[in-house]
Structure 1
Amino acid sequence: MSESDAGPAIGLIGAGSRGVFHLEQLYEIVSRDYFEVWDKPWPAAKPGFPFGVYHDYASEVPDWATDISHLGASVTAVCDPSTDSQARAVAVCEEHGDDPETFETIDAFYRDGEFDTVIVASPNHTHTEAALPALERDLDTFCEKPLAATLADHDRLIDAADNSDGTFYVGFNLRHSQQYGKLRSLIQSGAIGRLGMLSAHEVRVPFPWGHYYTQDESGGTLLEKDCHDFDLFNWYTESDPVRVVAFGGQHVLDQGTDVNDHATVIVEYASGVKATLELCMYAPYTQPGDRVYAARGTDGLVRSGRDSNSWEVFGWDTHDTYSFANTGGEHGGADIRLWKDVLQTFADGGDPAATAWDAKKAAAVAIGAERSIAEGRIVEIDERYDLH
């Protein structure tokens, strides 16, 4: 633990690429004194401009920035069955003055590790085993999405979170994106009238090797990849999904795997809104902007712009464009904003941006869609987000 760092002592479970990425984002926040909230593109295309200028030379926090100088953290424990993965995570920690203990099993991690906050970034089917002990110990816990590979395990984690004095934060990072947050505000403001339809379209390269290609371990492609999008659908509609139907299968990636590589999903909400997702996971390229979104209302349309950080809004006789700065990193800067909010929530209190119930609500759509493909039928979703 770095002597200069304040804040929680963090234990990491799962030191794969995503776990190490979370460490990098966490340390980036700890290194800053304040965080910009400006949502316009900057005129100079230089890394860190103009934030770096203010960070280096300003004696006071500007009005448009959030003071995060009190947010600190150190990493004191790393758990992963792979010693190579442990070494990569430890190397990142050592670059920032931390010297964490390493563990190969979750049991040893909780028995002998010293930490008061836990990050769970292990494969989906291990999240329950990894997060339950933390919640039972009343520790603040961050869990990567999806929360679990089954709805039954979602229920176990919901019950544990409800009975824990620790804060449970689910990592739906797209809720922290300026771009997707702006779409929500446009819908809520009535810019397109009453919302009636949503759509998301994604064409991308396949998953990397690993647990993603096993249904029992990942929960399925629509859970692993698109719980993000179903969470955004739920967030935008502010309504409960009531049924889902999907078509999909294995078009290209059909050897040694039991997960789908493409799908079309239609979700119906209690409010009457319909949402459609189209996914192609076998392309040898990823479309610009990764996702293409559209929201249709009684008075207009919002759709993804020509670049990955803009929206076009069409009314009866209007056409407006809203653009955003990419504040760095993946997902248009959403990940760094996620970790600012996670550390701020743990330090200052307040509610997380996404809860275990939000996670189950998104998972119900995803797992319901997987069931619809497998069984060739419409799947009903009840008020507790269970399937019928």
Structure 2
Amino acid sequence: MARALVLGAYGLIGSACARALVDAGFDVTGLGRSSQAAQRSSLPVDWVIRDIAQLTIVEWQDLLEGCDVVVNAAGALQDGARDRLEAIHVTALKALTRAAETMPLRVVQISAAGVAEDASTEFFRSKARGDAVIKRGLSDWVILRPTLVLAPEAYGGTALLRAAAAIPLVQPKVLPDAMIQTVSIEDVASAVVRAARKEIAAATILDLTEEGTQSLATLTETMRDWLGVSPPIFSPTLPDWALRAMSSLADLLGQLGWRSPLRRSAVQVLRDGVRGDPSNWVATGGSPCMSLHETLSRMPATRQDHVFARVYLALPLAIATLSFFWVISGLIPFFDLPGTISILTDRSAPSWLSALAVIGGAVLDVALGMAILWRRWAARAAMGMIALSAAYVLGSLITAPDLWLDPLGPMVKVLPGMMLAGFVALVLEDR
């Protein structure tokens, strides 16, 4: 049985390729850096949990031993707290090619349509440098360059596209004149299998895309119809300055570990347009890639898709609300510390305990409100908010039960805050 190693096998493209290779009879090993993401993928593959950017040539040689094909579906959109484009797209491939240069295996590189060393984004430039590394260092390779990939699952830009299409009553137009081509994940996975079987000649570069092209505005409207969302009442065009401001904020959040699809690289890619040339793929004997409408018809939207689109928008709002609420609630006591402490001392609580509870609680409030903004700590911060709120509830029942008599008082409001933190903790997941 032929053996395949899939890099980034739990990602949107990687997971589909791994499944397709398993169905085609390959013995598949997945390589990724998150054991949790690998477990959630439920793929019938063996896993190696490593960071490809940290692997040495010797370690690559051990991983590649016995492999017939390597599929590189690993990638990142922009530098951030968790990603370095040069390391993922270039450095890792240099070590991989050095390790594989004397081995009888094929490398299938999943790049992106539009890559060039003089492109407008570092994403495309680093992808182009990675493609060049493979072309220089190996003889048996195939480079596949898909356009915007549509799949039953959604991450990043495709998730944002669904979310924008699901906004009730309003359909904001963002870069309405940008021209976009799409490709089905089925077509991408099929191309990977063909390349792995060596049905595509070595040293071949192919764009994977539909023949048609549509504006981003039309694509969003089509996704809205697919989700079954009622036509909008208002369709305002988002000013360019507003989009740039949102991108700047998204870049800042990227330094805290959030991979927002509104970062400058993603917006610039859309601004430039996402297009490819489908003719070379057909010339190799491949069937024409499905059109946008054919792709969507093969994955009809479910209620879960509709809910996901709405939750995708609600999650950042929930996190921002929690952060603001907890930071403000922690700072307010310091404006009148004696008065805040007196709330407990007036109810016969010892002064030292009252001061400790107020000051300690305020510091913890601020710390949790800041921690939830850091992606690595967000879920744990949300659970900490629930635990600390529960402690407040228990403490108030013991020392100040009268505070619960006011239906709009401070203690009653703790309960919805706990529920909101629970929502965030449940919805957050990492790739």
- Structures share a fold, TM > 0.5? no
TM-score range, shorter chain: 0.3 to 0.5
Q: Which has the larger radius of gyration?
A: 2
State TM-score, norm by structure 2.
0.33
Question: Comparing both chains, which one has the higher relative contact order based on Cα–Cα distances under 8 Å and sequence gaps of 6 or more?
Answer: 1
Higher helix share: 2
